[in-house]
Amino acid sequence: MISKVSSSLTSQEAGQAASTIAQNDSNNATYECDIWCNMTKATVGANSSVYRYNGDGLCVRKDVSSAEFTDIILYLYQGGKAILETDSAGVQKSSNLHGNNDLISKTTSGIVTYFKYNGRCDVTTLTGADGTT
């Protein structure tokens, strides 16, 4: 939860992209976005994630780093929907199953999580294979 937020907008200048930065002072979090409103970097304390996008604006890579580890996550798409997440060596981390418009389930390390929606297509509940939330 962000309790205190300060933000600033940097205007676009000769060859530089504009960025929006929101900062949460309570946990030293900083979020940066590009001119297309794609989050490009998130930093919380000593942990950070850098995001990269393709020409369609889909996130294709996330570089995660902390004091304990560094990880690269690659996202693969079919029809504009993320269907697979892999590490930099191509080893599957998780897979997504989509319906007509919504994400039905995500499988990570053999554990399936199902997404339940309300009438406005908001995710309201995440359940396991046994139905527990």
pTM of the full structure = 0.74
In this structure, are residues 27 and 13 in contact, taking their beta carbons and an 8 Å threshold?
A: no
Query: Could you tell me the maximum CA-CA distance found in the chain, to the nearest angstrom?
Result: 56
In this structure, are residues 76 and 98 in contact, taking their beta carbons and an 8 Å threshold?
A: no
- Is the pLDDT assigned to residue 14 strictly greater than 60? no
Residue linked to tokens 């304990």: 68
The token pair that represents 43 in the structure block: 């930093």
Q: Quick one: CA torsion of 73, 50, 126, 86, rounded to 10 degrees?
A: -10
Among 5-19, 23-37, 98-112, the minimum mean pLDDT is found in 5-19
| Residue 101: per-residue pLDDT | 80
Interval 85-114: pLDDT, tens? 999 999 999 999 999 888 999 999 999 999
The token pair that represents 115 in the structure block: 């997404």
Q: How far apart are the C-alpha atoms of 66 and 87, rounded to whole Å?
A: 16
Q: How far apart are the C-alpha atoms of 131 and 124, rounded to whole Å?
A: 14
Q: Kindly give the residue spans of alpha helices, DSSP state H, lying in 1-133.
A: none
What is the sign of the dihedral through the CA atoms of 61, 31, 123 and 56?
negative
| Residue 8: per-residue pLDDT | 46
